[in-house]
């Protein structure tokens, strides 16, 4: 299952994740593929180089010094974009040294999923990852073989490619390959399910859940779609639900952000302000 992060690490990952989302929205699919590949390379480095990982996550060292160390080691070896993401991570405060690994992996996965965001294949990627998790559930011996770290990583990845048989998208294949290369002690079936859930969460960034007391016309839906697309700097599709209790106005939720412009909400706010 996904790592449970303490407060400082949650805050560090949330801030770095917001910066990455802005980067995803403004980048091409090719740039995001390079970013994901570079971040996975950094993850492999930090997994094997424990001393380096401790130095980059040491809370007793100023953040600027830690990002300076990352610059000296990685400049010219990964893209500038990836190095900026790494600097965001290493300059933050982490509750535990190992949480830095979690942060790098999460952002590497998000960047890779950004490729599917750009070509509108997130639905397919989510389904492929979920189905692979079901295969591992039915075939525990396969799961064990893929996770057996006494076998060289390249051989485990070759087995994965044989099983996949070219029947999944490049994004799904990359995510599964990196999980096989760096299982980090996780059950691969659970890891595949986590990836599927992450893909679903990324897809939700592109869906506006709209509650309205009256049915919107096609013209109104288009205007709202255009406005939200400009506001969030990415294509937005609508899922509209009728809710007469709102009385008027709209409630719009995109990802974790809620825009409540309903009459019922305004009335409730006014009631709270009335003297008792």
Res. 112 pLDDT band, cuts 50 70 90:
very high
pLDDT value at residue 232: 81
pLDDT value at residue 129: 93
Q: What is the mean pLDDT of the chain?
A: 89
pLDDT value at residue 270: 56
What whole-number distance in Å separates Cα of residue 237 and Cα of residue 226? Answer: 9
pLDDT at 32 over 70: yes
> What pLDDT digit, counting tens, does each position of 139-187 carry?
999 999 999 989 999 999 999 999 999 999 999 999 999 999 998 888 8
pLDDT at 96 over 50: yes
> What pLDDT digit, counting tens, does each position of 195-204 carry?
998 998 888 7
pLDDT value at residue 273: 65
What whole-number distance in Å separates Cα of residue 9 and Cα of residue 11? Answer: 5
> What pLDDT digit, counting tens, does each position of 198-224 carry?
998 888 777 788 999 999 999 999 999
Domain ranges of the chain: 7-203, 206-273
pLDDT value at residue 1: 47
């Amino acid at each position: 299952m996904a790592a449970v992060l303490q407060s400082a690490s949650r805050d560090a990952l949330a801030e770095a994740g917001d910066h990455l989302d802005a980067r995803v929205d403004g980048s091409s699919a090719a740039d995001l593929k390079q970013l994901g590949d570079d971040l996975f390379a950094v993850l492999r480095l930090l997994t094997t180089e424990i001393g380096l990982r401790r130095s980059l996550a040491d809370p007793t060292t100023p953040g600027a010094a830690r990002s300076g160390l990352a610059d000296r080691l990685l400049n010219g070896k990964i893209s500038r974009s990836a190095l900026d993401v790494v600097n965001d991570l290493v300059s933050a405060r982490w509750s535990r040294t190992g949480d830095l690994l979690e942060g790098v992996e999460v952002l590497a996965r998000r960047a890779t999923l950004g490729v599917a965001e750009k070509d509108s294949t997130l639905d397919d990627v989510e389904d492929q990852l979920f189905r692979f998790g079901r295969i591992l559930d039915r075939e525990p011996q396969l799961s064990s073989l893929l996770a057996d770290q006494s076998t060289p990583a390249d051989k485990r990845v070759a087995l994965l490619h044989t099983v996949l048989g070219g029947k999944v998208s490049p994004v799904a294949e990359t995510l599964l390959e990196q999980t096989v290369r760096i299982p980090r002690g996780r059950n691969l079936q659970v890891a595949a399910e986590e990836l599927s859930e992450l893909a679903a969460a990324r897809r939700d960034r592109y869906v506006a859940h709209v509650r309205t007391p009256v049915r919107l016309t096609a013209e109104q839906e288009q205007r709202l779609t255009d406005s939200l697309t400009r506001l969030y700097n990415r294509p937005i599709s609508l899922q509209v639900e009728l809710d007469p209790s709102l009385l008027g106005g709209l409630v719009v939720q995109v990802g974790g952000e809620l825009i409540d412009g309903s009459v019922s909400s305004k009335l409730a706010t006014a009631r709270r302000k009335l003297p008792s």
